[in-house]
Amino acid sequence: MKFSNTYIKLGEQFFQRTLPEKVTSPTLLLWNKALANNLLIPENVQDNHILLSQYCSGNQLPHGAESIALAYSGHQFGHFNPQLGDGRAHLIGEVIDKDNARRDIQLKGSGQTGFSRRGDGKCALAPALREYIMSEALFALGVPTSRCLSVAATGEMINRGLTKAGAVVTRVAASHIRVGTFQYFAARGDMTSLQALVDYSIKRHFPEIDADKTGSNIPLSSDQRILAFLASVIGNQITLVVEWLRIGFIHGVMNTDNTAICGETLDFGPCAMLGEYNENKVFSSIDEYGRYAFGSQGKIAQWNMARLADCLIPLLIEVSDKKLTKEEQEQQALTKVEALIHQYTDKFDVAYFTMYGKKLGIKDTALNNKSLISDLLTLMQTQNLDYTQTFLQLTQSLTDDVKAQELQSKLGDWYQTWLVVLRQEELEHESHPQNKYQQAQDLMRKNNPVVIPRNHHIEAILEFCENAIANDLTCMKNSTKEVITDTVEGFLRVLRSPYQEIEATNKYQELPKDGDRYYQTFCGT
């Protein structure tokens, strides 16, 4: 692997140099071969599990890797902390994948850093497995996400109220630059570093901003460039959250330090999947007031973007017309960023209703069908209908009379109104397939999964793996390692085919008996 680290070139104020803590008996439990191939990791390295266990536990750094902990701030549940940073993660470098994209390689759970704030810097096995499973599930579902290359057991016990087996996750992301990274320098009034971060982020994630598309050779002005950056990050967040809503994903901790500007899902602590539809649903044990409920995620993303805008205002003031008074410069900068933040609502609504239109087989923009969509969601919440199963049954009902009758009994007049909308679309497009709803059904099949990583299945897998390792902490027995690997990979084999049923799909489609009524997720720290 050819490692580099362009982020280090930004300067020592962006990170702390620190090494992962060595562990006693590392064992490679999970290895993501498809991702490894995409990262161009040589086969001779992939076949050497002893060497990989050293790399993936942090005991040994690959040639060319440099280990750092990133600095950032963050609003956590609305409260600002000026210094957070990587307290249990080590960024060891960047690689270029086979698509010529730059990817961060980070170890998580790899020990204390200068940002640990009295934490142990470790990760338990269950949260490590959760991140691996959930990130792979989201990737297969078509949701922008960071991914996991590996999970290595450390052979250690760590204290999480109860003693738990330790593990290290190797995480791969487009980058780990967060809204909180900008907040870190804005809070310190370090405009030089803040501008360098904007420049770096544009070059890495939004090179089109500096590309001359017109051939005029006239670059954007400094303020236009900053605003284009903000608009691009906003667009990424809208896309991400709408995709979360499409599949019923609840992030659980949408703090600004967990909001990646590249628009990938980052951090899978108290995340969960929506079962029975309820826009106010919260599973996170630490989200006491429902700030990050399922239906609030769009508004919270806007709030997070407003916090990014706050950071950019001083930069806009610096490049403003010096003929203006200080107050006029501040007002002008505020007006410019407020315009983008206010535009978020309309842009989000378009993306939101278009997404639900596709889930209902409506090809054209669904803005004319807002009431149809809203009425369905109201019916689902009133009747405690399962989110995934309802949309799957709607998809199937277009060619299954039994399912059509079942849904009509649940949804009443709404069901017939929906069919009328679909039929009208078919006529307007002058399509006359053998099945009059064929085009609608094809669209729905691409947007409505047949299987998701349901909470009770996730917990069953994690409990099984924890029990398997409990009496064999060092995982020296091949049988222990194999049973964990086979269990997780068997589950992932189904989750990696979320839109088509395979032989084992039906094992993971049943609903929780208690409707997830008492289900809670917890932060792994």
Integer Rg of the chain from CA: 24
What are the backbone angles phi and psi of residue 70, rounded to the nearest 5°? -80, 145
Instruction: Compute CA distances 134 → 178, 453, 492, whole Å.
Output: 20, 7, 9
DSSP for residue 146: -
Structure tokens at 105: 């390689």
The rounded distance, in Å, linking the Cα atoms of 53 and 402 is 52
What average pLDDT does the segment 55-81 reach? Answer: 96
Could you tell me where the DSSP H helices lie in 260-325? Answer: 297-318
What average pLDDT does the segment 506-521 reach? Answer: 92
DSSP for residue 511: P
Any idea which residue has 């995620």 for tokens?
297
DSSP for residue 104: E
- Tell me what pLDDT residue 497 has: 97
- pLDDT greater than 60 at residue 475: no
- pLDDT greater than 90 at residue 360: yes
Confidence of residue 523 (pLDDT cuts 50, 70, 90): confident
Task: Find the range with the poorest average confidence among 3-17, 272-286, 425-439, 493-507.
Answer: 425-439
CB 435 within 8 A of CB 401: no
- Tell me what pLDDT residue 470 has: 81
pLDDT digits (tens, 9 = 90+) for 376-402: 999 999 999 999 999 999 999 999 999
What average pLDDT does the segment 355-364 reach? Answer: 92
pLDDT digits (tens, 9 = 90+) for 411-466: 999 999 999 999 988 776 655 556 789 999 999 999 999 999 999 999 999 999 99
- Tell me what pLDDT residue 525 has: 59
What average pLDDT does the segment 322-344 reach? Answer: 95
Question: CA 422, 423, 429, 433 torsion: positive or negative?
Answer: positive
- Tell me what pLDDT residue 211 has: 87
Q: What's the whole-model pTM score?
A: 0.95
- pLDDT greater than 60 at residue 204: yes
**What is the share, in percent, of the chain residues with pLDDT greater than 70?**
95
28: β partners: 152
pLDDT digits (tens, 9 = 90+) for 76-133: 999 999 999 999 999 999 999 999 999 999 999 999 999 998 889 999 999 999 999 9
Burial classification of residue 233, based on how many CB atoms lie within 10 Å of its CB (0-12 exposed, 13-18 middle, 19 or more buried):
buried
Picking from 186, 198, 196, the residue whose alpha carbon sits closest to that of residue 224 is: 198
Picking from 154, 163, 173, 172, the residue whose alpha carbon sits closest to that of residue 29 is: 154
- pLDDT greater than 80 at residue 275: yes
- Tell me what pLDDT residue 524 has: 65
Picking from 311, 337, 12, 330, the residue whose alpha carbon sits closest to that of residue 187 is: 311
Give the count of beta carbons closer than 10 Å to the beta carbon of residue 306.
Answer: 17
Instruction: Compute CA distances 130 → 167, 250, 389, 516, whole Å.
Output: 12, 14, 23, 17
Give the count of beta carbons closer than 10 Å to the beta carbon of residue 502.
Answer: 12
Give the count of beta carbons closer than 10 Å to the beta carbon of residue 490.
Answer: 13
Residues 32-59 as b or e (16 or more Cβ within 10 Å = b): beebbebbebeeeeeeeeeebbbbbbbb
Instruction: Compute CA distances 146 → 242, 293, 401, whole Å.
Output: 17, 22, 41
- Tell me what pLDDT residue 322 has: 87
pLDDT digits (tens, 9 = 90+) for 139-169: 999 999 999 999 999 999 998 888 899 999 9
What average pLDDT does the segment 306-310 reach? Answer: 98
CB 182 within 8 A of CB 312: yes
pLDDT digits (tens, 9 = 90+) for 213-238: 656 667 889 999 999 999 999 999 99
- Tell me what pLDDT residue 432 has: 55
Any idea which residue has 């599949």 for tokens?
247
Any idea which residue has 């050497």 for tokens?
48
- Tell me what pLDDT residue 441 has: 96
- pLDDT greater than 90 at residue 242: yes
**What is the share, in percent, of the chain residues with pLDDT greater than 90?**
86
- pLDDT greater than 90 at residue 510: yes
CB 252 within 8 A of CB 283: yes
Q: Helix, strand, coil % (nearest 5) of the chain?
A: 50, 15, 35
The rounded distance, in Å, linking the Cα atoms of 495 and 508 is 9
CB 444 within 8 A of CB 359: yes
Instruction: Compute CA distances 190 → 181, 186, 260, 311, 314, whole Å.
Output: 12, 6, 21, 11, 10
- Tell me what pLDDT residue 473 has: 61
Active site residues: 257
- pLDDT greater than 70 at residue 494: yes
Non-local CB neighbours of 202 within 8 Å, separated by 6+ positions: 209, 210, 225, 229
- Tell me what pLDDT residue 476 has: 55
What average pLDDT does the segment 481-509 reach? Answer: 96
- Tell me what pLDDT residue 216 has: 63
Please state at what angle helix 455-470 crosses helix 478-495, rounded to 10 degrees: 170
CA 6 to chain centre: 23
